[in-house]
């Protein structure tokens, strides 16, 4: 390893963002311990396919573990002695939290406690953890800024992510753990999650199925291309926050494009990239949904000197090309 190389513990390593971040960290010469429980929330074959690309890489090792198994996670920390931690493992999905709420408290709250306790007893230079734009909930001020009110979540998933931010801040205050929370705005791209709308839209276009657009497609989302998200994580990795006066060493950053796209337009762009027509059906809003998300990325830009910039057209072309290849869709 080079002189700047670090021992990085990465949870959720077989997940979408985790996989891409692992590739980046290994490319940059770091040693990575990846942890994932490979659960069946979506097709584990995709997680295994991502993992299969990581396992041959020098500097990478993998452990399958449940994040809520405190003793196991602590033991992995003590054996590996990471200098930096990326905690991306979580039970994802807004709508699924209506059906299986305990999965969210177990994975997102209890699992995060395992990480915080481990960082307390095995001190690290920097803990970076995944939050979500969902924490903004019923906030009507657009674009969303890190200083906005975030005490009105509209889903349990959002509540658990806000709980993570409060937990991290308290551990930073009590034990001096430098920690950075990332409020991701709808990350998309190759090797993405099948439970996310853009993946389902693309599959429906290729199969000729109807695409259900809630609120008749008049909802907009701030979409973030995966490479931009990983660039932000890689840049923030080397910038642990410092305590300032009474403020603990804890920071929050939006990671989004700052350019929302209406879902009806989004589907049109997928269809264009696929070279197929899209069939859409309008439906009312669903519980837990919000009409619009948009990120104020000025804080991120000030800290790292850049912000996500991939145009939605280019990002979707790359995703659709990967989708064709992975699923064997003929040109």
Tell me the pLDDT tens digit for each residue of 12-66: 999 999 999 999 999 999 999 999 999 999 999 999 999 999 999 999 999 999 9
Residue 280 is encoded by which pair of tokens?
A: 């859409």
Q: Burial letters for 130-154: b for 16+ Cβ neighbours within 10 Å, e otherwise? A: bbbbbbbbebeebbbebebebeebb
Tokens in use for 99?
A: 């059906």
- The mean per-residue pLDDT over the stretch 278-290 comes to 84
Q: Do 159 and 109 meet the contact criterion of CB atoms below 8 Å apart?
A: no
Q: What is the pLDDT of residue 288?
A: 65
In the chain, % of residues over pLDDT 90: 88
CA distance 84 to 97: 30
Q: ∠ CA(210), CA(214), CA(215), 5° rounding?
A: 130
| C-alpha distance across the termini of the chain, in Å | 42
pTM of the model: 0.95
Any idea where the domains of the chain sit in the sequence?
Answer: 7-188+223-255, 197-222+259-292+310-327
**Residue 134 — very low, low, confident or very high, per pLDDT cuts 50/70/90?**
very high
Cα-based angle 307, 308, 314 (whole degrees, multiple of 5): 150
- 48 by Cβ neighbours in 10 Å (0-12 / 13-18 / 19+) ranks as exposed
Residues acting as catalytic residues? 157
User: What is the band of 94 on the pLDDT scale with cuts at 50, 70, 90?
Assistant: confident
Coil, strand or helix at 251: strand
pLDDT value, residue 55: 98
CA distance 310 to 73: 36
Tokens of 314: 């280019």
Q: What is the CATH number of domain 197-222+259-292+310-327?
A: 3.90.25.10
Residues recorded for the chain: 331
Name the CATH architecture for the domain at 7-188+223-255.
Answer: 3-Layer(aba) Sandwich (3.40)
CB 192 within 8 A of CB 198: yes
CB half-sphere exposure, 199, CA atoms < 13 A: 18
Rounded distance between C-alpha atoms, residue 133 and residue 251, angstroms:
15
């Amino acid at each position: 390893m080079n002189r700047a190389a670090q021992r990085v513990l990465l949870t959720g390593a077989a997940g979408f963002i985790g996989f891409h971040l692992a590739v980046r960290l290994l490319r940059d010469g770091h040693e990575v311990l990846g942890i994932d429980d490979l659960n069946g929330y979506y097709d584990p074959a995709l997680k295994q396919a991502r993992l299969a690309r990581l396992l041959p890489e020098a500097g990478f090792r993998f452990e399958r573990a449940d994040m809520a198994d405190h003793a196991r996670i602590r033991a992995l920390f003590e054996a590996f002695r990471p200098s930096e931690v990326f905690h991306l493992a979580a039970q994802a999905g807004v709508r699924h939290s209506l059906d299986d709420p305990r999965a969210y408290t177990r994975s997102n709250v209890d699992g995060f406690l395992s990480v915080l306790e481990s960082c307390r007893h095995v001190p690290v230079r920097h803990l970076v953890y995944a939050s979500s734009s969902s924490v903004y909930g019923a906030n009507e001020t657009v674009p969303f800024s890190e200083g906005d009110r975030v005490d009105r979540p509209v889903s349990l998933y959002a509540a658990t992510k806000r709980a993570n931010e409060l937990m991290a801040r308290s551990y930073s205050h009590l034990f001096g753990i430098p920690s950075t929370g990332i409020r991701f705005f709808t990350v998309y791209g190759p090797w993405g999650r099948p439970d996310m709308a853009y993946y389902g839209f693309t599959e429906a276009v290729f199969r000729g199925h109807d695409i259900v657009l809630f609120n008749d497609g008049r909802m907009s989302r701030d979409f973030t291309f995966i490479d931009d998200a990983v660039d932000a994580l890689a840049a923030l990795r080397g910038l642990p926050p410092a305590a300032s006066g009474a403020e603990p060493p804890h920071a929050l950053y939006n990671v989004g494009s700052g350019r929302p796209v209406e879902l009806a337009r989004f589907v049109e762009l997928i269809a264009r990239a696929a070279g197929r027509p899209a069939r859409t059906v309008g439906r009312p809003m669903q519980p837990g949904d919000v009409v619009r998300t948009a990120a104020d990325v000025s804080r991120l830009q000030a800290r790292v000197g850049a912000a996500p910039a991939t145009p939605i057209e280019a990002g979707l072309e790359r995703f659709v090309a990967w989708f064709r290849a992975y699923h064997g869709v003929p040109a």
